[in-house]
Amino acid sequence: MTTHTEATTTVEYAPERPARLEWAKHAPEVYKAMVRLETAARKGLDHTLYELVKIRASQINHCAFCVDMHTKDALAAGESVERIVQLSAWDESRHFYTAKEIAALELTEAVTVLTDGFVPDEVYDNAAKHFEEAELAQVIAAITVINAWNRFGVTCRMAPGHYEPGQYK
């Protein structure tokens, strides 16, 4: 249980839920393969854009562990609090982002939420206008990889709040 004391007031927070499974410990080869995939997916991508994509996909997937991790990494790399806070409502806050970042965020949402079973042509075409083909392939790879990490985090109920920036780099 976590408590927070301000002056004479103590606030008691809900207890942290324990992880269900330390999947990386029990499937170390899968974990190592995921790390290699992660390393390959980030090659050549702007670090800021990369973290924005990872945070946004993690928000959509409700992966609190990954939101915590990538928010801390983005802040440590110099990203503004304001842009991170607005990320959950980026579509209403477009003026905080570049056209290229917006295209990446649109693509992130389309790839992450495949409710229609496909990525809409207009979303893909907009991304293709802002990225060279090789870079677009890397953005798609980054989106795909964070979605895979999110599935591990959510399923195994990895607890947020303990990550230190750069811990897994």
Q: Which residues contact 11 (CB under 8 A, 6 or more apart)?
A: 3, 4, 5
| pLDDT, tens digit, 9 for 90 and up, residues 4-49 | 566 668 899 999 999 999 999 999 999 999 999 999 999 999 999 9
DSSP 5: E
Position 7 scores a pLDDT of: 64
Give the residue carrying structure tokens 């750069």.
166
Position 116 scores a pLDDT of: 77
Helix (H, G, I), strand (E, B) or coil at 12: strand
Position 9 scores a pLDDT of: 80
Query: What are the mean pLDDT values of the chain's consecutive 10-residue runs (169 residues total)?
Result: 65 92 96 97 96 98 97 96 97 98 98 91 98 98 98 96 84
- How far apart are alpha carbons 81 and 86 in whole angstroms? 9
Position 146 scores a pLDDT of: 98
Helix (H) or strand (E) holding 163: none
- Shortest CA distance to 44 belongs to which of 121, 140, 152? 140
- Shortest CA distance to 158 belongs to which of 27, 16, 59, 30? 16
- How far apart are alpha carbons 19 and 17 in whole angstroms? 7
- Shortest CA distance to 108 belongs to which of 94, 86, 123? 123
